């Protein structure tokens, strides 16, 4: 992603209004969008999606977080959580627990991408990578089905939904990789 000059509101507005031609001239920074599934929570009526946006930042300090607080001051729908994670990144997520999970993965307290089979991990570690995508269909689709059921119904799911979730859980993890020069994504691995 082209790097914004800074995280002040006026600078971000200018950045978002810039043409792709102008943005291509900027230095790029690696960003990650991580989705770690959905779960129900006693204090929230619907399943929570655990997704986070991560970007590296040289100086993670109070001034940076003051800028982020101003940037995300519209809290009518929800208030995002943000903090330093894994030593060198700023994480932004809807739920503080999502950032806790990321930190636990970095500390190897829970499974992380590092433990992926090499055929999948190579999508992220190849030096020519501009975009990498890994989708765990066996985790994503059953939780999405549960979420849909919760939205549309009250009560326990019928046997058909339970069986469908069990079948969906058997689906593989797939990994895609692409570079800016190739201008396409290719399947890198299936596990």
Identify the bridge partners of residue 85 per DSSP, sorted by sequence position.
Answer: 89
Q: What is the pLDDT of residue 100?
A: 94
Q: What is the pLDDT of residue 163?
A: 95
pLDDT at 85 (0 to 100): 92
Distance CA 113, CA 189 (A): 14
Ordered per-residue pLDDT tens for the chain, 191 residues? 788 877 888 888 888 888 888 888 888 888 888 888 777 777 777 778 888 999 888 788 888 888 888 888 776 667 889 999 988 889 999 889 999 999 999 999 988 877 877 777 777 777 777 788 888 889 889 888 887 887 777 678 889 999 999 999 999 988 888 877 777 887 877 88
Identify which of 38, 57, 33, 58 has the alpha carbon closest to the alpha carbon of residue 48.
38
Distances (CA, A) of 150 to 48, 135, 143: 11, 23, 10
pLDDT of residue 75: 66
Q: Is 105 helix (H, G, I), strand (E, B) or coil?
A: helix
Q: 100 Cβ partners below 8 Å, 6+ apart?
A: none
Q: Whole-prediction pTM value? A: 0.73
């Amino acid at each position: 992603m082209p790097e914004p000059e800074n995280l002040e509101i006026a600078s971000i507005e200018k950045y978002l209004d810039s043409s792709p031609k102008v943005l291509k001239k900027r230095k790029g920074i690696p960003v990650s969008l991580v989705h770690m599934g959905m779960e129900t929570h006693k204090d929230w009526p619907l399943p929570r999606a655990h997704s986070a946006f991560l970007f590296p930042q040289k100086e993670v300090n109070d001034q940076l977080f003051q800028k982020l607080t101003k940037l995300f001051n519209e809290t009518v729908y929800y208030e995002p959580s943000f903090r330093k994670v894994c030593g060198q990144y700023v994480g932004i997520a809807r739920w503080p627990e999502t950032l806790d999970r990321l930190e636990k993965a970095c500390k190897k307290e829970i499974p992380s991408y590092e433990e992926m089979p090499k055929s999948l991990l190579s999508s992220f570690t190849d030096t020519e990578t501009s975009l990498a995508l890994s989708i765990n269909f066996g985790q994503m689709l059953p939780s999405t089905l549960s979420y849909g059921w919760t939205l549309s119904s009250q009560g326990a799911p019928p046997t058909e939904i339970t069986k469908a979730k069990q079948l969906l859980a058997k689906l593989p993890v797939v990994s895609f990789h692409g570079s800016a020069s190739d201008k396409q994504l290719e399947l890198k691995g299936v596990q």
